[in-house]
Structure 1
Amino acid sequence: MPALVEEGRAKVNLTLRVVGRRVDGYHDLESVVAFADCADRLTLEPGSTLSLELAGPLAADCGETSDNLVIKAARLLGERVADLKVGHFTLEKVLPVAAGIGGGSADAAAALRLLARLNELAIDDVRIREVALQAGADVPVCLGSRACDMTGVGETLLPLSLPKLPCVLVNPRVPVATKDVFNALGLRHGELLIGATDVLMQTPSWPEAGCAINEWIDALAGGTNDLEGPAARVEPVIRDVLAALGAAAGVRLVRMSGSGATCFAIFEKDADARAAGEKLRADHPTWWVHAGSLS
């Protein structure tokens, strides 16, 4: 059987509201999630043994292959599907790790899609959905890799009709641990960040299909990322990235994604995004910069 290939697209949290911390320690969130046109590439060559090889420019940042979410997701699925067909994975890593853009989660989701194809499983098979959530909070949304309003701990997904948004993503090549950012947020078990009767507890309404980019930018500008402040205290260079993006010509919205340190800027015009990306690469040659679009 020929090798199978899937992409693990970068996930971007356009908004991220922390509702509170549950008694079990997990945080309830509400987040508008989009996906960028940059991705890791995962190949599966069917075989009798499960294995993973790392390649690509950022492979060295991934750590031990035994700890990789690709292997974790495959093993979890193997516990639920008898005689699961597996094989040799090759991960071409181009997305920065511990960066707030779900690189590892996108890779795990790509692995589940590949295994579903190899084993003729429906992608909405309950066992795949269970494994996705167990593998990580961002894996379920990365499984479909389409714009959603994500709530709970990542298990509830409401599809959104998001137009293509010209954007620039920037990561200063400094990893930020999600647990450190949530520790800096400092919520106790069972503590709400917003009042239980607050109107913001309700899922916000977002522009409908066919709405112009401007309407989406205006709607997103009314949101926030509640982890931006805590993340900047953990890694102050995030403030430098936000400032550099905010100074770009034609920029309409600047914010951090996820728990950082990747930040993004949204533009109305593709040309403005490309120009901003070129300038940022020239001014900050050690930073990871991608100019493209979100959808």
Structure 2
Amino acid sequence: MTDIGLQTRSRLSLAAPADYWALLKPRVMSLVIFTALVGMILAPHRIHPILDAVALLAIALGAGASGALNQWWDADIDAVMSRTRNRPIPGGRVTRDEAFAFGTGLSVFSVLLLGLAANWFAAGLLAFTILFYVVVYSMILKRRTVENIVIGGAAGALPPVVGWTAATGSLDVAPLVLFTIIFVWTPPHFWALALLKSDDYARAGVPMLPVVMGPDVTRRRILAYSLALAPTGLLPWFLGFAGPIYGATAAVGGIVFVALAAMVFVRREGPAARLACGRLFGFSILWLATLFAVIAAERLFA
């Protein structure tokens, strides 16, 4: 079935709607929607509520299009990795041609929709985000350099900037700080998972940090990035566009993040090491979601 799924077939697939939904990478898309919404909430100028909703929908569709095109390109890798081999393309439910057409069409539609609903500056940033994720990260960095997730993380950090520009038509310090937080957060978050799935990446030939430089170097880098992330998370409070509740949440969360990274650094073998990586990976998602939720709540209920 896997071999069939990777072939370009002339017949139509028997894909269900759920398979096309899976192409959108809905869990990743949900994070994009949330961080973009926070960028829109923080913006000082707002467009009409209905246009806000349409703009957010466009950003979501752009994120989903990126996911579909990523799966189109990475179908060969996905087929040999345990956590991805049942995705729609390697699972044989969607052809690569169909995924490419779906992702490309959705990309164009999302950019045009955002331009019409908000402004063309935001639409241009959305187009850049899609191209960066698909071309720069998926096609170039992922298979060629150990720094793939470090540089490629910029794509995942751009949604709050797109959300802000959709609301204002301009840039400012606040969305760039949100970008920086996600950008610094991405490596320790993803490397914790990569330590757990290093055999998968080795089998697929993807030069992730644990595969190329080993788990010990990966653990050191996770700790270093976590130490940098803790003060980075405080920047919104320090610069004055977040309040004391955010500041306290970021301070406590940063300490816990570093402590969990230290546990990953110390526990290097057996079930304890896997548990430490799993805890850091899970907490990193909670940390980011909580900080963005608090900064949005402070603005909404100020």
- Report the TM-score, using the length of structure 2 for normalisation: 0.32
- Report the TM-score, using the length of structure 1 for normalisation: 0.33
Task: Name whichever structure is richer in strand by fraction.
Answer: 1
